[in-house]
């Protein structure tokens, strides 16, 4: 049978490996932290090695039939190296855009798609100038490697002093940052698309995302937004995937403004937490779509067979698993992580409801 190479060893890799197994594929995980990882636990093989271990990367590439990834911050040089020996999707062009918030927003704006107003910043003085230009309420973010709201600071120049801007700058601990205008959104939505090497594309319906402490808390599928808003969100996600010539799965996070238009927040070229509901409520889930896309198989059906609500189990939330498991209305998914550290994604639950329109 064929083997998929997976870069990254977290829960997204785990659930992709499980979907791959169902289609008859083995998975070989490669990551510096692969040992006893969520993905390695369910994979046929795991390589624990650094992203710049060129010899280990070559052996890995030669042992698999196609490589994909569950973490968009895999160094581009790593992917370029692997590409000498096997196919890797999504490709380095996609990663270069998705790894850097400035590149990402430039790319999206270049397609004529709206984002919050933004400025690149390399110093506290740049931040002050950006705030003066954009408006008093801003979000300062490191351009690279942030997730779950880490590497971000809120700024309200109407009430904060110059010291507060300096404090925000010092708190993100990098000299490559972006200042974004704060969007007073009606809600947040995301759209996940899958695209094959032949350009075929499918999109799951727009879903609504609620965050708690900067971390995704609940996803409601489908999003409770106007049909025009949902259609616009889908159009935006498809346009981005096409412009990137994506092969794989792409999630696009968006803000819905009070007038019902959408602004892109960020994207992730991989299965996404806001797509976990598809595991129990769609004909083919996002993980299966990734396997299909990178293995050159036809894409699956995105038909929604039920409405759904996904709730993340963060840290100690997961201790409630016996109760959740005993509830027949709950589909429980646990990631095999031994330690329930605060803020750590331990699992999720899906609740299904009769399908609406
Ligand atoms: P993720 O875990 O989704 O990768 P992240 O750390 O990359 O998160 P963002 O998605 O940029 O960060 O921001 C996290 C959340 O913070 C957003 O979902 C949104 O709720 C809020 N937020 C971020 N940027 C803005 C903004 N410009 N205006 C208003 N809210 C924002
Ligand atoms: Mg992010
Ligand atoms: Mg986000």
Stretch(es) of the chain classified as CATH 3.30.1490.20:
117-181
Residue 283 C-alpha to ligand 3 middle, in angstroms? Answer: 26
Handedness of CA 75, 81, 85, 87 (dihedral sign): positive
Q: Sheet containing 152-156: which strands, arranged edge to edge? A: 118-121, 177-181, 137-142, 152-156
Q: What angle do CA 85, 87, 93 make, to 5 degrees?
A: 110
Stretch(es) of the chain classified as CATH 3.30.470.20:
187-353
Q: Is the pLDDT of residue 202 over 80?
A: yes
Q: Is the pLDDT of residue 321 over 70?
A: yes
pLDDT tens-place string over residues 282-312: 999 999 999 999 999 999 999 999 999 999 9
Query: Quick one: which ligand is closest to 214's CA?
Result: 1
> Quick one: average pLDDT of 186-197?
98
What pLDDT shows up at residue 161? 73
Q: Is the pLDDT of residue 327 over 90?
A: yes
> Quick one: average pLDDT of 121-148?
93
Name the CATH topology of 187-353: D-amino Acid Aminotransferase; Chain A, domain 1 (3.30.470)
Buried b (16+ CB within 10 A) or exposed e, 239-263: bbbeebebbbbbbbbbbbbeeeebb
Q: Is the pLDDT of residue 218 over 80?
A: yes
**Percent of the chain with pLDDT strictly greater than 70:** 99
Contacts (Cβ under 8 Å, ≥6 apart) of 139: 116, 152, 153, 154, 155, 179, 180, 181, 182
Annotated binding site for ATP: 101, 141, 146-152, 180-183, 188, 211, 265-266
CATH number belonging to the domain at 117-181, selected among 3.40.50.2300, 3.90.1150.10, 3.40.190.10, 3.30.1490.20: 3.30.1490.20
Contacts (Cβ under 8 Å, ≥6 apart) of 310: 218, 219, 221, 274, 276, 277, 348, 349, 350, 351
Tokens representing 302?
A: 């995105």
Asked if residue 234 lies in contact with residue 257, where contact means CB atoms within 8 angstroms, the answer is no
Q: What angle do CA 296, 301, 307 make, to 5 degrees?
A: 140
pTM above threshold 0.90 = yes
Pocket test for ligand 1, best of 119, 137, 214, 263 (most atoms within 8 A of CB): 214
Residue 55 C-alpha to ligand 2 middle, in angstroms? Answer: 31
What pLDDT shows up at residue 209? 98
Give the pLDDT band (50/70/90) at residue 150.
confident
d(CA 11, CA 33): 13
What pLDDT shows up at residue 160? 62
CA 173 remoteness from chain centre = 23
- CB of 139 shorter than 6 A to ligand 1: yes
d(CA 82, CA 63): 11
Largest CA distance in the chain: 62
Asked if residue 350 lies in contact with residue 309, where contact means CB atoms within 8 angstroms, the answer is yes
Please give the span between the terminal C-alpha atoms of the chain, in angstroms, as a whole number.
40
Question: Considering only 22-36, 71-85, 149-163, which range has the smallest mean pLDDT?
Answer: 149-163
Residue 100 C-alpha to ligand 3 middle, in angstroms? Answer: 13
* CATH architecture of the domain formed by 3-88: 3-Layer(aba) Sandwich (3.40)
- CB of 248 shorter than 6 A to ligand 1: no
Nearest to 229 by CA among 262, 204, 274, 182: 262
Average pLDDT of the chain is 96
What pLDDT shows up at residue 148? 85
Asked if residue 65 lies in contact with residue 4, where contact means CB atoms within 8 angstroms, the answer is yes
d(CA 139, CA 160): 13
What pLDDT shows up at residue 316? 95
- CB of 288 shorter than 6 A to ligand 1: no
In this structure, how many other beta carbons lie within 10 angstroms of the beta carbon of residue 123?
11
In this structure, how many other beta carbons lie within 10 angstroms of the beta carbon of residue 297?
14
Q: Is the pLDDT of residue 162 over 80?
A: no
Asked if residue 266 lies in contact with residue 209, where contact means CB atoms within 8 angstroms, the answer is no
**Percent of the chain with pLDDT strictly greater than 90:** 93
Tokens representing 163?
A: 């010291």
pLDDT tens-place string over residues 330-354: 999 999 999 999 999 999 999 999 9
d(CA 56, CA 188): 41
pLDDT tens-place string over residues 54-96: 999 999 999 999 999 999 999 999 999 999 999 999 999 999 9
345-353 and 307-314 strand pairing? antiparallel
Q: What angle do CA 229, 179, 177 make, to 5 degrees?
A: 120
pLDDT tens-place string over residues 243-289: 999 999 999 999 999 999 999 999 999 999 999 999 999 999 999 99
Question: Considering only 3-7, 101-105, 232-236, 339-343, which range has the smallest mean pLDDT?
Answer: 339-343
> Quick one: average pLDDT of 205-209?
98
ipTM of the complex: 0.98
User: Which parts of the chain fold into alpha helices (H)?
Assistant: 11-22, 54-62, 76-82, 92-98, 101-110, 124-134, 162-172, 227-243, 278-281, 286-294, 321-326
Q: Is the pLDDT of residue 168 over 70?
A: yes
Closest residue by CA, ligand 1 atom 24: 139
């Amino acid at each position: 049978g064929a083997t998929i190479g997976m870069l990254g060893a977290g829960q997204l890799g785990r659930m992709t490996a499980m979907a791959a197994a169902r289609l008859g594929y083995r998975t070989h995980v490669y990551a510096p932290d692969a040992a006893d990882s969520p993905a390695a636990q369910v994979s046929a093989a795991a390589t624990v090695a650094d992203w710049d271990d060129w010899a280990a990367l070559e052996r890995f590439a030669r042992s698999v039939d196609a490589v994909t990834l569950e973490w968009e911050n895999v160094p581009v040089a790593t992917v370029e190296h692997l590409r000498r020996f096997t196919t890797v999707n999504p490709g380095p062009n996609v990663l270069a855009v998705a790894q850097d918030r400035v590149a990402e927003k430039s790319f999206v704006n270049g397609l004529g798609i709206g984002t919050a107003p933004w400025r690149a910043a390399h110093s506290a003085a740049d931040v002050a100038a950006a705030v003066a230009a954009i408006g008093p309420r801003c979000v300062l973010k490191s351009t690279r490697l942030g997730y779950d709201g880490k590497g971000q600071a809120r700024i309200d120049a109407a009430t904060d002093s110059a010291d507060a801007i300096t404090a925000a700058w010092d708190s993100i601990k990098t000299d490559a940052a972006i200042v974004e205008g704060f969007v007073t959104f009606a809600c947040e939505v995301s759209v996940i698309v899958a695209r094959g090497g032949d350009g075929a594309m499918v999109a799951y319906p727009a879903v609504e995302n609620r965050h708690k402490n900067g971390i995704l808390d609940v996803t409601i599928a489908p999003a409770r937004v106007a049909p025009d808003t949902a259609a616009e969100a889908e159009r935006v996600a498809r346009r981005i995937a096409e412009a990137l010539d994506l092969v794989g799965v792409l999630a696009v996070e968006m803000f819905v403004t009070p007038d019902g238009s959408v602004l892109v927040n960020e994207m992730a070229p991989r299965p996404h937490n806001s797509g976990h509901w598809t595991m129990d409520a769609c004909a083919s889930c996002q993980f299966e779509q990734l396997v299909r896309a990178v293995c050159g198989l036809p894409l699956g059906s995105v038909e929604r067979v039920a409405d759904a609500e996904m709730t993340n189990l963060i840290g100690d939330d997961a201790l409630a698993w016996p109760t959740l498991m005993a509830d027949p209305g709950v589909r429980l998914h646990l990631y095999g992580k031994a330690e329930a550290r605060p803020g750590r994604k331990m699992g999720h639950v899906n609740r299904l409801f009769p399908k609406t329109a």
